[in-house]
Structure 1
Amino acid sequence: MNDLALGREGTPHLASGSMTMQGRFFVVTCFGLVFLNCLTFLYHLTGSTVFNVLSNSTSLLLILWSAHHVMITNEKNYFYNALLTLACIFTGTSYLVNFGSFELSDGLKLVSIYSFYVAGRGMSERMQLPEKRCIYMLAALPLIFRVVGQTHVYTSIEYPDVFSYFPNTNTAALYFSALFFALSPWFGNRVLVAQFINAAIMNRVGPALATIVSIGLWSFFPLRLQVFVVLILLACASIAAHAFGALDRLLTGLNAIALIWSLDPSTVARMTTKQLIDLTGTTDMSAFFRITHWTNIWQIYSSLGPSGILFGYGASQTGVLTVLPLPPHNDYLRVLAEYGLLNFLVFVVFVFSIVFSLKDRAAKTMYTVLLIYFLSENLIDNFTSMTLFFSYAGRFTSPKWRARDQPNA
């Protein structure tokens, strides 16, 4: 689990007096995530597996903490409780069907996002200053690591784009997106400015594209004069970006995808990097490998029998079964192929029901970044990011939060 593991502005109304059990869920969760990331910091700084074991244990304790709050919540939301129950049943069945070819820790990560959401929805206490300080600390830790250390874990050729103690800048961009999502009640639309800076610093197409699409999607409704002004400005900005070459990587990737679409994945696996560069005319292979890998995953999954279609071929088995030893880089496809059709249907209903329940525009936009980003990365592995996204999504969609605990304008 060591992979890590638009609204109103104002100051939240802080709860007074001593905190009850219901008032501690978010504070303890945030402190736990800080402790987890400190252990991850030390693991990557020293390479000692002791810190890795401790960080995995902390993750498990946080999952148990969320499960405890699922049990004691006073909010009887039958819809999300049913989704959590179904996710547990279908993931457990997938484990039994694929016994011996199922990474249990990965299955636990998947189920935990439902657990954190239900717990956060049921324990939607008012936001407290210690939470804010913890989130600031979570933002500081990877930045401090870049100054004082160098990872002793991500050292092989598989990790050419390491950022701090994250395996790549895509993962790092998601991490900071989760922090901005949690902070959205404090800072409102300013988190969207921070997200643009985040995407620019990471210099990755995925985060930037997801941010642009998300802001555009939730800014267009309801239609008004300002929307059309923004559309004109975006069109001008796109033309200027194309003229200065800022879209070259995206266009080259699309051309490469069109060129190799008909190639068999096994053929791709036998080609050298030089042959691929000569074929596509680009040294950027990320989009190319994703398309061929997704095709291979679909070929394997669609050829399974009825039990395989329903319950997948086992968590974390994609890199073992496919010709390219890589994880799926698409969490929708990953849930479908590794956990099966039933888990996929529950997952899609779950994550998309949340986005339509969020009322705060900044939070809705940041959460939509996650939904789009699911299309091109392995994000469920990122424990801290998923915990923040789904526990705070539970809080932000709770009727109690909307009616009583929302920050004052």
Structure 2
Amino acid sequence: MNDLALGREGTPHLASGSTTMQGRFFVVTCFGLVFLNCLTFLYHFTGSTVFNVLSNSTSLLLILWSARHVLIANERSYFYNALLTLACIFTGASYLVNFGAFELSDGLKLVSIYSFYVAGRGMAERVQPPEKRCIYVLAALPLLFKVIGHTQVYTGIEYPDVFSYFPNTNTAALYFSALFFALSPWFGNKVLVAQFINAAIMNRVGPALATIISIGLWSFFPLRPQVFVALILLACASVAAYAVGALDRLITGLNAIALIWSLDPSTVARMSTKQLIDLTGTTDMSAFFRVTHWTNIWQIYSSLGIGGILFGYGASQTGVLTVLPLPPHNDYLRVLAEYGLLNFLVFAIFVFTIVFSLKDRAAKTMYTVLLIYFLSENLIDNFTSMTLFFCYAGRFTSPKWLAHSPSSA
């Protein structure tokens, strides 16, 4: 078995030799994601459910592919294998407790992020050039659709912010963030520049704020004189942004959120859009509805018995039980309420131990963007993004990878 060689600028690349099972895992996974996104492209372009069925089948095959590699991995991580096992047990228990009120496909998506991570960690030795080409294709497909297509799936007033074949620009921004995360060994800190361009193109506060917080967080450690200079510059930039009105949307959102503490979620749900606009003074209801919805979800979850507290009220049941027929828009709260406290503890331990295991600063920063995004979106539903994030997080935290890759931390 050949080890990684280091190319220019310390970038890991494939040493000469025949392709092994370790190399094939990432190559096949990336090709599978390209095929999946081609089917998604066709589904949204034509509206034909045939392509949706095929894309779902492809997702299932990729999950089975990762599960196979969990079993044959030659690098055993007892800690993460234990988390995967617990996630399977607790998700299965949630299914049984909520039998008949549990969307099995959603439970499978949740468990799959653990299996993709463990498989990626165990198959981390090689980097194949076709992977990078696949990631470029994944970046091109939604942009091509944006130019030549119009979604036949996301229609109506419930989808005011569609981008290509994504339901909104926040989800699209996260998709490109996952691509940058996977490319970080090749491009280093250049992916952070690309991420700012990504946030600017999507023109949303969420992506930009998550990126700024993530970069700022990992720039502070270890503390250096440059950190204090950066803080001063950031403070000056914030004052300038406030002066030109760039923070108006954020401030308006925070003011709207403050109003809900005195209102019951059911009261908000009965109010017309005009009444809400008059109440908040803004037509931007996203932050207002999110926190109102979260409050309603917490009221329902906290009123459950011990079985409900431990195992939730069932995958994909939030929109059925709450006043507003919407998913949670917060994956931490989603795991807690729909899958229960035990699943939430496993999930939180899992995602936060990964970030401290990542050594490359660019990769750590892009992964932290995901952790911040989890606070305000339903990202586990985005299969390609989650697969890329957790497959490559597994690779980037593997002892084999770290032994041959330079660290910028």
Deviation at 1:95, TM superposition (A): 0.4
1:83-136 CA distance string (max 9 Å, x none)? 000000000010010011000000000000000000000000221210000000
Deviation at 1:21, TM superposition (A): 1.8
Give 2:386's aligned residue: 386
Deviation at 1:367, TM superposition (A): 0.3
Task: Tell me, in whole angstroms, the C-alpha distance in 2 between the residues paired with 1:342 and 1:31.
Answer: 35
Task: Tell me, in whole angstroms, the C-alpha distance in 2 between the residues paired with 1:114 and 1:286.
Answer: 30
- 1:299 matches 2:308: no
Structure 1 residue identity aligned to 2:54 = L
Retained in 2: the 8 A contact 1:73–1:119? Answer: yes
- 1:377 matches 2:377: yes
| Correspondences of 1:60-209 after superposition (within 5 Å) | 60-209=60-209
- Secondary structure at the aligned position of 2:222 is classed as coil
User: TM-score scaled by structure 2?
Assistant: 0.96
1:128-186 CA distance string (max 9 Å, x none)? 21000000000000000011110000012211100000000000000000000000000
- 1:252 matches 2:252: yes
Structure 1 residue identity aligned to 2:53 = V
Structure 2, unaligned runs of 5 or more: 1-7
Structure 2 residue identity aligned to 1:303 = S
Ranked by relative contact order (alpha carbons within 8 Å, sequence separation 6 or more), the top structure is 1
- Secondary structure at the aligned position of 1:156 is classed as coil
Give 1:51's aligned residue: 51
Task: Tell me, in whole angstroms, the C-alpha distance in 1 between the residues paired with 2:73 and 2:400.
Answer: 12
Task: Tell me, in whole angstroms, the C-alpha distance in 1 between the residues paired with 2:25 and 2:405.
Answer: 15
Task: Tell me, in whole angstroms, the C-alpha distance in 1 between the residues paired with 2:10 and 2:290.
Answer: 42
Give 2:5's aligned residue: none
Give 2:368's aligned residue: 368
Task: Tell me, in whole angstroms, the C-alpha distance in 1 between the residues paired with 2:309 and 2:144.
Answer: 45
Task: Tell me, in whole angstroms, the C-alpha distance in 2 between the residues paired with 1:100 and 1:148.
Answer: 41
Give 2:344's aligned residue: 344
Give 2:311's aligned residue: 311
- 1:279 matches 2:318: no
Deviation at 1:329, TM superposition (A): 0.4
Q: Give the 3 Å change call, closer, same or farther, for CA 277–327 of structure 1 in structure 2.
A: same
Structure 1, unaligned runs of 5 or more: 1-7
The 4+ residue runs of structure 1 with deviation greater than 6 A are none
Q: Give the 3 Å change call, closer, same or farther, for CA 230–405 of structure 1 in structure 2.
A: closer
Task: Tell me, in whole angstroms, the C-alpha distance in 2 between the residues paired with 1:228 and 1:323.
Answer: 46
Deviation at 1:256, TM superposition (A): 1.0
- 1:28 matches 2:28: yes
Q: Give the 3 Å change call, closer, same or farther, for CA 251–257 of structure 1 in structure 2.
A: same
Retained in 1: the 8 A contact 2:10–2:406? Answer: no
Deviation at 1:10, TM superposition (A): 4.4
- Secondary structure at the aligned position of 1:177 is classed as helix
Give 1:289's aligned residue: 289
Give 2:229's aligned residue: 229
Retained in 1: the 8 A contact 2:44–2:165? Answer: yes
- Secondary structure at the aligned position of 2:88 is classed as helix
Task: Tell me, in whole angstroms, the C-alpha distance in 2 between the residues paired with 1:48 and 1:120.
Answer: 33
1:236-264 CA distance string (max 9 Å, x none)? 11111001100000001111111222200
Retained in 2: the 8 A contact 1:180–1:195? Answer: yes
Task: Tell me, in whole angstroms, the C-alpha distance in 2 between the residues paired with 1:74 and 1:192.
Answer: 33
Structure 1 vs Structure 2: percent identity of aligned residues?
Answer: 90
1:54-98 CA distance string (max 9 Å, x none)? 000000000000000000011121100000000000000100100
Structure 1 residue identity aligned to 2:321 = L
- Secondary structure at the aligned position of 1:24 is classed as helix
Give 1:403's aligned residue: 403
Q: Give the 3 Å change call, closer, same or farther, for CA 232–407 of structure 1 in structure 2.
A: closer
Retained in 2: the 8 A contact 1:196–1:211? Answer: yes
How many residue pairs match? The answer is 401
Retained in 2: the 8 A contact 1:125–1:405? Answer: no
Structure 1 residue identity aligned to 2:264 = D
Task: Tell me, in whole angstroms, the C-alpha distance in 2 between the residues paired with 1:308 and 1:16.
Answer: 54
Deviates more, 1:399-408 or 1:345-354: 399-408
User: TM-score scaled by structure 1?
Assistant: 0.96
1:278-322 CA distance string (max 9 Å, x none)? 000000000000110000000000000110000000000000000
Deviates more, 1:226-235 or 1:397-406: 397-406
Retained in 2: the 8 A contact 1:12–1:407? Answer: no
Deviation at 1:12, TM superposition (A): 2.7
Task: Tell me, in whole angstroms, the C-alpha distance in 2 between the residues paired with 1:226 and 1:65.
Answer: 45
Give 2:329's aligned residue: 329
- Secondary structure at the aligned position of 2:12 is classed as coil
RMSD of Structure 2 on Structure 1 (CA): 1.3
